[in-house]
Structure 1
Amino acid sequence: MKSLRFPWICLVIFSVCLLLWYCHVMRSRFNMKTGLRGYVRLQFNTRSASHFLDFRCGRCAVVSSSGQMLGGGRGQEIDRHDCVIRMNVAPTVGFEADVGNRTSLRVVSHTSVPHLLRQQEYFFGAEAGTTYVIWGPEKNMRQDGKGKIYNALVKLAKKYPRTNIYTVTTEKVQYCDRIFQNETGKNRMKSGAFLSTGFFTMILSLEMCDSILVYGMIDGSYCSNANHSFVPYHYYEPSRLDECRMYRAHEHAKRGGHRFITEKRIYSRWASQGKLQLVYPPWTPQEHGFNQV
């Protein structure tokens, strides 16, 4: 009897070990699948398992950096949303009445990372609870030691280990390129266009929010109106270039320009589908065709 009992004990032990291993594998796969693919947590500890951005919200406010925000008095309204999403390094201090003072998540361009580094005490002190999503081209975000911006972010994450910093993968950037082409019929790279931070912000917001209210974005026809007023490109840089003048310069640049006006026509199309609302200044959602980019 003892000789028969031993193989059964071994079989039970083996079965338990196999079950534990299976549960571990499935749990690991589940953890990797949770969150939004294309947004990966920046890891400075190579022993840490990378994971995707797990950030979901019901009602989101997307706040533009445009001078259109000035004088609107929408600050308290913005802060009442479940999440407040801002772009690049647009500050809240001194502008609370118009833009609010809460920041849940910032989408930041690789070109704005140096500004983050120069204002570390504000962004990683006063806004310590903010999640950062950084996008940029492969040459700046590569992880083989040659990505200048990526290397700077790794140092930043080491200095502020509680900060949540995510980078947009190359595959996600290419996905955004395809969306631009599908919406306009134009290849982004061949047309000489660079997607704006606003474009990446809108796509991320559509993925993570149940509903989105956008503040401070003008519609695609605003600058063509003869009676449009002078508005600073950024609300925190009142003496700088006029917004419409900047938009026109980028729209017609042969290489390296953001197609701000074209992008806003895309947003209007998305708004007509219901999830996205362009509340201030108010838009009337329209279906747009695109003859040129």
Structure 2
Amino acid sequence: MKSQRFYWLCLVLLSVCLLLWYRYMMRSGFAMKTGLQGYVRIHPKTRLKSNLLDFHCGRCAVVSSSGQMLGGGRGPEIDQQDCVIRMNVAPTAGYEADVGNRTSLRVVSHTSVPLLVRQQGYFFRREADTKYVIWGPEKNMRQDGKGKTFNALVTLAKKYPHSHVHTITREKVQYCDGVFQNETGKNRMKSGAFLSTGFFTMILALEVCDSILVYGMIDGSYCSNANHSFVPYHYYEPLHLDECRMYRVHEHAKRGGHRFITEKLIYSRWASQGKLRFVYPPWTSQEHQPP
């Protein structure tokens, strides 16, 4: 009897000690980080990066910035999905009927950060609940005071302390480079290619979404069809370059070009695995896949 009491007393004391240790660790800042590796939040009060991206959804709508979105009337359908992922600074205001109104997460290129700053009222007040994931080369994202893009993001985080601005780590960028090389057999840097925002977006969506519906992306063969129509590169810039012309210029650029067509061939292979579906416009390569 005494031995049982002693056993339970020891168990209670051990539990109390563990609870006190846990509270101490939490208060001391040694709590385990939770979230998705490779995407870290910029803390509003310091230049140090902290907090992994905490984001997961059942069914996601990935919405392209392409002019393919115009006239499709897919806005209500997009807004019905669990989460909506957009790219760069593509606006929803004025285009709700075609692109929807909700934005859960934006993947943004370093080249578009100045536009975020210029239109910060729209992005950090109107879309205050949106999470932002920023990618860019090391020279722009360095944290020693010389990273122009990173410095701008720190300023935004300080001005909007409740915002969720994340950066893609150097290791994650290298991982994405590895994915491109595994899929194409080509070293990205040696081939003179820059991964597109769409490529980073697709990889992130595959990591955080249970299923993905893609809107506004054409397949890799679209621009080779003789009867393809003129479509603006961005739906919110209707008078700018034709999408297919932009794709061809980048695809064949010796240096600094996005391999848009090559990337879409990669997406087509990923779609065959069943998690990814291109619903508007529908891709011919997935006509026999289950919905």
Same fold? TM cut 0.5: yes
For residue 232 of structure 2, give the secondary structure of its aligned residue in structure 1. coil
Name the residue aligned to 2:289: none
Residue of structure 2 in register with 1:103 after alignment: 103
Match in the other structure for 1:9? none
Q: Which residue of 1 aligns with 2:238?
A: 238
Q: State the 1:176 CA deviation.
A: 0.2
Give deviations 1:199-224, integer Å, cap 9, x for gaps: 00000000000000000000000000
Aligned match of 1:37: 37
The AA in structure 2 aligned to 1:270 is W
Which residue is 1:143 aligned to? 143
Query: Aligned residue for 2:225?
Result: 225
Maintained 8 Å contact 1:269/1:285: no
CA distance in 2, matches of 1:25, 1:244: 55
The alignment partner of 2:189 has SS state of coil
Query: 8 Å contact 1:88–1:112 — kept in the other structure?
Result: yes
Specify the alignment match of 2:274 in structure 1: 274
Corresponding pairs, count = 275
5 Å matches for 1:52-67?
A: 52-67=52-67
- Classify 1:24/1:261 alpha carbon distance in 2 versus 1 (closer, same or farther; 3 Å): farther
TM-score when scaled to structure 2? 0.89
Summarize the Cα distance change of 1:190–1:47 in structure 2 as closer, same or farther, 3 Å threshold.
Answer: closer
Q: Which structure 1 residue ranges, 4+ long, deviate > 6 Å from structure 2? A: 12-15, 26-30
Cα separation, 1, equivalents of 2:15 and 2:283:
62
Deviations 1:129-182 (A, max 9, x none): 110000001100011111011001001011111110000000000000000000
| 2-structure distance, mates of 1:225, 1:37 | 40
5+ long unaligned stretches in structure 1? 1-11, 287-293
Give the match's secondary structure for 1:223: helix
Give me the whole-angstrom Cα distance separating, in 2, the residues matched to 1:64 and 1:269: 19
Question: TM-score, normalising length from structure 1?
Answer: 0.88
For the Cα contact (< 8 Å) 1:31–1:51, is it kept in 2?
A: no
Tell me the residue number matched to 1:112: 112
CA distance in 2, matches of 1:72, 1:187: 37
Residues 47, 266 of structure 1: alpha-carbon distance in 2 compared, 3 angstrom cutoff: closer
| C-alpha deviation, 1:49, in angstroms | 7.9
2:180 corresponding residue in structure 1? 180
What letter corresponds to residue 60 of structure 1 in structure 2? C
Aligned partners of 2:142, 2:41: CA distance in 1, in Å?
Answer: 14
CA distance in structure 1 between the partners assigned to 2:47 and 2:245 by the alignment: 49
Give the letter for the 1:94 counterpart: G
- Conservation of the 8 A alpha-carbon contact between 2:40 and 2:50: yes
Closer/same/farther in 2, CA of residues 14 and 230 from structure 1, 3 Å limit = closer
The one-letter amino acid paired with 2:69 is M
Q: Determine helix, strand or coil for the equivalent of 2:124.
A: helix
Q: Structure 1 residue 43: deviation in Å?
A: 1.4
Which residue in the other structure is 1:291 paired with? none
